[in-house]
Amino acid sequence: MGRPAGWTTKVTGRPAMRSPGRPPVRRDVERAFWLKIAEGLTSEDAALACGVSGPVGSRWFRDRGGMPSIQLSPLSGRYLSFAEREEIALLRAQDTGVREIARRLGRSPSTISRELRRNAATRCGRLDYRASIAQWKAELAAGRPKTAKLAADERLREYVQDRLAGLIQAPDGRLVPGPATQEWKGRNKPRRQDRRWATAWSPEQIAKRLLVDYPDDESMRISHEAIYQALYVQGRGALERELVTCLRTGRALRVPRSRARQKAAGHVTPDVMISERPAEAEDRAVAGHWEGDLIIGTNRLVHLPRMEGVEPRVKNGPALAGYGAEAMRKALTAQMANIPQQLRRSLTWDRGKELAQHAQLKADTGIAVYFADPHSPWQRGTNENTNGLLRQYFPKGTDLARWTARDLEAVAGALNTRPRKTLGWRTPAEALDDQLLSLQTSGVATTP
């Protein structure tokens, strides 16, 4: 005959809940797992440290996009813990009264009575209190799911998608589709293969630029973390998961900072060390200090010399058939031809031999050259940051010879029209225009 309609709601005070089958792992175990991840452990090691299998930990990490989906701080003491629910189940099995259970746990009798009624198992046709079922029901009821903002606001979603995955344009306005890429298979960016060319603004750049483009429209607001979650967290929807390929790293999963690795550097003589560089270059107080590096391709070993101003602004040089000192000096001299003399204060490079003719470069252009310390990529932070941006368009191991000068200009243009945090969310192009205007109004010539 079964139970009458509405029986569960009547006896428990809440609507019927779907059967959990085997109750899932408790939230405190999952919380411990994510704390181990934050310490730098792999998902398998973190899972084993918390008493669950390695495949379970890998699934947690993958399904949540490499980020915790629960609050890592302990719950407030006002909520019953799993240990307290186990104690309630044991005392209830001994026919202990509600008030006695409350006295032993230091809780209100109404709290115990409500717990026994709301979170009891009901499949047997009566209220049967079990700690694991009660914990599952409490955690399920504690959730406050709501529709993601990007899923509910089409205008905001289109803005985010266009800045993240829109096509880049050449200086003449022509769309540049870039190389044909393989279908995304849910893995990290392919090694030594082409990547998708896109406007590729970072979530933080998108979030901050909204304040500039829509200063009076409060509906056009979203945090960068919400954008990351829309991309990485399973079930959040709104943005297609494959759009992670438009992020600079192209990672399918987020990686904890504790797993970061540091790159090595080369060597150079100590007479032009970075310690001799003016302090104004370090704090970005004065425009005209540049950082540079090479982007190296494969096949015909074509190399792309590039400079980045601390304003900052990207300048891609013409592709070179090699990276000898002579070819590099000529390429950098040509790059500086259109830079006003007042904006040629210094150039900081790594310790590679391609800039061995730095003395001649200084004589030709008037720019002082300095070299970073070994194993210190942070001393050229602007350059290291931009290397990552450029690698999104020119992955390691790809052939650079197939791209024309116009294509390289299009990539530089895409980077120069992205807002930068260091510029108060202005673009490098806007910052340089302001600097050139300042030079003109002060009566200083803008050509060498």
Q: How far is CA 194 from the centre of its chain?
A: 21
354 CB-side CA count, 13 A:
23
CA torsion angle for 376, 332, 319, 339 (degrees, to 10)? 110
| Degrees to nearest 5, angle at CA 261 with 259 and 267 | 170
Give 397-414 pLDDT, tens digit per residue. Answer: 777 778 888 888 898 888
- Is the pLDDT at 24 greater than 50? The verdict is yes
Tokens of 200: 């590729």
Query: DSSP 3-state assignment of 119?
Result: coil
Partners of residue 128 on adjacent β-strands: 121
Pairing relation of β-strands 346-349 and 368-371?
parallel
Of the pLDDT bands very low, low, confident and very high (cuts 50, 70, 90), residue 91 is very high
Longest dimension (CA), the chain: 98
Segment 106-135 shows an average pLDDT of 83
pTM above 0.75, yes or no: no
**What pLDDT does 11 receive?**
62
**What pLDDT does 122 receive?**
72
Give 71-90 pLDDT, tens digit per residue. Answer: 666 667 788 888 899 999 99
Q: Are 304 and 319 in contact (CB under 8 A)?
A: yes
One DSSP character per residue, 197-265 reads ------HHHHHHHHHHH-TT-TTS---HHHHHHHHHSTT--SS-GGGGGGSSS--SS---GGG------
Distance CA 211, CA 426 (A): 11
Q: Are 236 and 230 in contact (CB under 8 A)?
A: yes
Domains and CATH numbers, the chain: 7-142 (no CATH), 149-256 (no CATH), 270-441 (3.30.420.10)
Where do we find the tokens 């003109």?
440
| Count of all residues that appear for the chain in the document | 448
Of the pLDDT bands very low, low, confident and very high (cuts 50, 70, 90), residue 134 is confident
**What pLDDT does 267 receive?**
41
Higher pLDDT pick, 288 / 3: 288
Query: DSSP 3-state assignment of 343?
Result: helix
Distance CA 43, CA 61 (A): 7
Of the pLDDT bands very low, low, confident and very high (cuts 50, 70, 90), residue 156 is very high
Tokens of 326: 């002579």
Contacting residues for 125 by C-beta, under 8 A, at least 6 apart: 3
> Which H/E stretch holds residue 370?
strand 368-371
233 CB-side CA count, 13 A:
14
Q: Are 26 and 82 in contact (CB under 8 A)?
A: yes
